[in-house]
Structures are given as C-alpha cells and as structure tokens.
Amino acid sequence: MKQTCNKDMKDIEVIHSYLESQASNCFSLLYNRYATKIFSKCISLLKDEALAKDATQEIFTKIFLNLSRFGEKSKFSTWVYSITYNYCIDYIRKMKKQDIFSDEMEKVADVADDGPEIDEELLQMEVRQLREVLDEISIGDKTILLMKYQDELSIKDIAEILGKTESAVKMQIKRAKERAQRTKRELFQEPFS
C-alpha cells in the first residue's frame, strides 16, 4: 500500500515518506508548511508581487527536484530558507550587477556579540514601525536581520548560507542593527538618546 503523509508528521518523516512513495500529498504538506513563509520572504526582498510568485514557484521546484539531496545536516527549515535567500540574493545581484553585501563583510577582525540592550531596542519596535524600517534599509541589512530575528538562524548557519565567515556575519548584524535603529529615529522623529 502506498505510504502517505499526515499533518502530525515531522518534516523529516514527510520527506522520507515522499522519497519512498512519491505521494503528492506529502509534497503538498511541505508546501502548506513553507509556502507562505517563502512567499513573504520573496516579496519582502524582491519588492514585487509577480517576481515573488515566480520565485516561490521556482524555489519549490528546486526543493522538489533536490529533496533526495537534503543531507539532514541542518533542519529542513534552514535548508529551505537557504535556498530562498540564495535565490533572492542571486536575483538581486544579477539585476543590480553588484553584491548586496558591502565590502565591510570582508576582512573583519573577530567581533564581540552586542549587548542585549541593542537587541531589545530593535525587538521593541512596533510591527508597523519595523515594516517601514525594513523597507528603508538596504537589502543586505534587511536579509541578515530577517535571518537572525525572524528565522532565528544561528551565526554559523547564516555564514554558511552567505558563504562568509562567522566574524563577517557578526559584523554585518551589528552594523545592520545600528542602521535600523538610526532609520527608526529618522522616520519617527525620535531624539537621539
């Protein structure tokens, strides 16, 4: 009998079941779990609904065709997000013909983690304010902040996805947070503390 999937199964169980049975409901289950997340990331980075639609479809096709290559070294969600971010970064790079991450990411000394107060200021923004701030800052800053705070990826995972060193990622996050806070103050006319 053909093995099928149900919504109580974990991602990895769904993947194994899909690879064994090729049952379409397994892939449908993975799609239902990740499609909205992927689409919202694409629209947030590409800033165009039609492009985001095409991107989501292509990203899922990539996932579908490469599912057997998922090595289980990381969580499935991390693997999915890495495909999503890399797709969007590559697209923007091709369009703008330049790297979205500035040269500041190269050749950086080891950076200490920021204190919790900087995180707190960023995480205390209202959702409405955060949306505007993220629309104002650069794509590179936005990407790295989404990876860190929305997807809660580790520094190691972010470094692997972006092909940078962990120190470079820490530096980029630190600068991105500073720029986000500065942008918030400019947009909402807060006095500098």
Q: In the complex, which residues of this chain contact other proteins (CB under 8 A)?
A: 22, 24, 27-28, 31, 35-37, 39-40, 43-44, 49, 53, 56-57, 60-61, 64-65, 123-127, 130-131, 134, 145-146, 149-150
Least CB distance from residue 5 to other proteins, whole Å? Answer: 15
CA-to-CA dists, residue 73 to 94, 154, 155, angstroms: 29, 14, 16
**Closer Cβ to other proteins, 62 or 93, answer by number:** 62
Judge whether 147 and 177 are in contact, CB under 8 Å.
no
**Closer Cβ to other proteins, 52 or 162, answer by number:** 52
Least CB distance from residue 155 to other proteins, whole Å? Answer: 16
Least CB distance from residue 110 to other proteins, whole Å? Answer: 26
**Closer Cβ to other proteins, 40 or 154, answer by number:** 40
Nearest to 103 by CA among 28, 152, 172, 159: 172
**Closer Cβ to other proteins, 3 or 22, answer by number:** 22
- Percentages helix, strand, coil for the chain, rounded to the nearest 5? 70, 0, 30
Judge whether 144 and 169 are in contact, CB under 8 Å.
yes
User: From its phi and psi, is residue 163 left (phi > 0), alpha (psi between -120 and 50) or beta?
Assistant: left
Nearest to 148 by CA among 172, 183, 184: 172
- Dist. CA 102–CA 21, nearest whole Å: 45
Least CB distance from residue 45 to other proteins, whole Å? Answer: 12
Least CB distance from residue 50 to other proteins, whole Å? Answer: 10
**Closer Cβ to other proteins, 108 or 119, answer by number:** 119
